[in-house]
Amino acid sequence: MIPAFFAHMAGALALVLVVALGGCTATTDLLVPAGHGSGDLGLVIERESGAVAVIDTTARQRLGAIEGLGDLSHASVVYGRDGATAYVFGRDGALTKLNLLTGRIEARVQQAGNSIGGAISTDGTLVAAQNYQPGGIKVFNARTLELLADIPAVVDGKASRVVGLADIPRNRFIYSLFDAGQIWVADLNDPAKPVLTKFDNIGKQPYDALISPDGRYYIAGLFGEDGLAKIDLWAAQPKVERILPGYGRGEQPLPVFKMPHLRGWTIAGRRAFLPAVGRHEVLVVDTDTWQEVGRIAVAGQPVFVMARPDGRQVWVNFAVPDYDVVQVIDTQTLQIVRSLQPGKAVLHMEFTPRGEAVWISSRDAGHVSVIDTQSFETLATLPAKSPSGIFFSSRAARTGF
């Protein structure tokens, strides 16, 4: 009993040290005005320097940077319910809790060897990380980053990388197992006793997924074959259904230069706009029948296909060699209405909460562009060090973000 006790205490002390040291870390130049709220703040990942820039979406200004976040070559952010607390998931497996208003790191844990994102629970008390190495998910107390649950993704004795993690109602998380071809739902209402529901034979190599804004449908894109896997979580007995099977059948597939992304932002009204893997097309899907109703030829291989908050437009960026182009689709006519070149190596886009502007990161150009979504004029250009992901605090109130 004594060795076990000391081992427990050593782990607790390490966590306390991590949290305490993190709380002493501040930015060098953060200038959030006193009394400023969190609703119009956001973060831009600056992958080259291992930092995040704090930005004001109303003033269209960079307020400063929070440094010391490790490898952000693939990083994502989720927000606590207050919109001022952000959780950064780094490629190196670190999970960092930030306070945007003070510019401080409040807690930080090295939770895995390779991580590609995470999610926050319905009530904001749990933060989950999805991992490539060692695989599986880990669930943490959102306030302290204390580890509450470690759920390996092991099938037939083999560990699987986890992708497509999303929050769903009632403190549950849903995610896909890339190597095992499965979808799991983890009920964390009692984090000490996670309850797992597993769906197998969903298709080969699910690479990412989206949850519809109402939390009803989970759709996993498949890299190893044409088609997608869908689960209706409102069904009395949910099951996996295949949609868009063979959407590239009979055609020579193109090499995939960058894996496309799926998220709830691809849904506009009664239609979903989905990137076709390896093809220069955006697929249009009726969300009542989940049948394909159209295809839109675009400039290259789509990476992000993002609907403006009102659903009136869809903006698309592309993999190399077309990664300096952004195209805008009118969702009524299904026509491309504008092609833009905001800068070399466009990596991410983020709409302001009501969609009057979109922020676009251009990694190799070293800036973020703010573009009016009606006139397509550039409203501001902000310098940034190899910017990639853009994450606004308005995500705090949205399922799947």
Domain ranges of the chain: 122-127+134-258
Comparing CA positions, the residue from 86, 82, 23, 78 lying closest to residue 54 is 86
Pair of tokens at residue 334: 């299904």
Residue 266: helix, strand or coil by DSSP? helix
Radius of gyration of the chain (CA): 21
Task: State yes or no: cis peptide before 134, omega within 30 of 0.
Answer: yes
Planar angle of CA 336, 292, 352, nearest 5 degrees: 45
Beta-bridge partner residues of 108:
96
Residues with Cβ within 8 Å of 1's Cβ and at least 6 positions away in sequence, in order, are: none
Give the Å distances, CA to CA, from 366 to 52, 56, 66: 14, 18, 18
Class of domain 122-127+134-258: mainly beta
Q: What does the pLDDT read at residue 370?
A: 98
Comparing CA positions, the residue from 159, 166, 148, 30 lying closest to residue 98 is 30
Neighbours of 190 (CB within 10 A): 11
Please report, to the nearest 10 degrees, the dihedral formed by the alpha carbons of residues 157, 161, 166, 170 taken in order. 20
Residues with Cβ within 8 Å of 234's Cβ and at least 6 positions away in sequence, in order, are: 216
Pair of tokens at residue 293: 């109703």
Q: What does the pLDDT read at residue 219?
A: 95
Q: The dihedral of CA 390, 393, 398, 401: what is its sign?
A: positive
Neighbours of 24 (CB within 10 A): 8
DSSP letter for each residue of 305-316: EEE-TTSSEEEE
Are the C-beta atoms of 179 and 157 separated by less than 8 Å?
no
Residue 210: helix, strand or coil by DSSP? strand
Q: What does the pLDDT read at residue 12?
A: 40
What is the C-alpha to C-alpha distance for residues 215 and 237, in angstroms, rounded to an integer? 16
Q: What is the DSSP letter of 216?
A: -
Q: Per-residue confidence of the chain (401 residues) as pLDDT tens digits?
A: 334 333 333 344 334 334 434 444 445 567 788 788 899 999 999 998 999 999 999 999 999 999 999 999 999 999 999 999 999 999 999 999 999 999 999 999 999 999 989 999 999 999 999 999 999 999 999 999 999 999 999 999 999 999 999 999 999 999 999 999 999 999 999 999 999 999 999 999 999 999 999 999 999 999 988 899 999 999 999 999 999 988 875 566 667 778 888 876 799 989 999 999 889 999 999 999 999 999 999 999 999 999 999 999 999 999 999 999 999 999 999 999 999 999 999 999 999 999 999 999 999 999 999 999 999 999 999 999 999 999 999 999 998 88
What is the C-alpha to C-alpha distance for residues 133 and 125, in angstroms, rounded to an integer? 25
Residues with Cβ within 8 Å of 188's Cβ and at least 6 positions away in sequence, in order, are: 121, 126, 128, 139, 148, 149, 171, 172, 173, 194
Residues with Cβ within 8 Å of 237's Cβ and at least 6 positions away in sequence, in order, are: none
What is the C-alpha to C-alpha distance for residues 249 and 356, in angstroms, rounded to an integer? 39
| Residue whose token pair is 């676009």 | 360
Task: State yes or no: cis peptide before 321, omega within 30 of 0.
Answer: yes
Residue 48: helix, strand or coil by DSSP? coil
Question: 95-107 in b/e burial notation, b at 16+ Cβ within 10 A?
Answer: bbbbbbbebbbbb
Q: What does the pLDDT read at residue 11?
A: 40
What is the C-alpha to C-alpha distance for residues 401 and 50, in angstroms, rounded to an integer? 22
Full-model pTM: 0.91
Neighbours of 279 (CB within 10 A): 22
Q: What does the pLDDT read at residue 3?
A: 40
Phi, psi at 20, each rounded to 5°: -65, -45
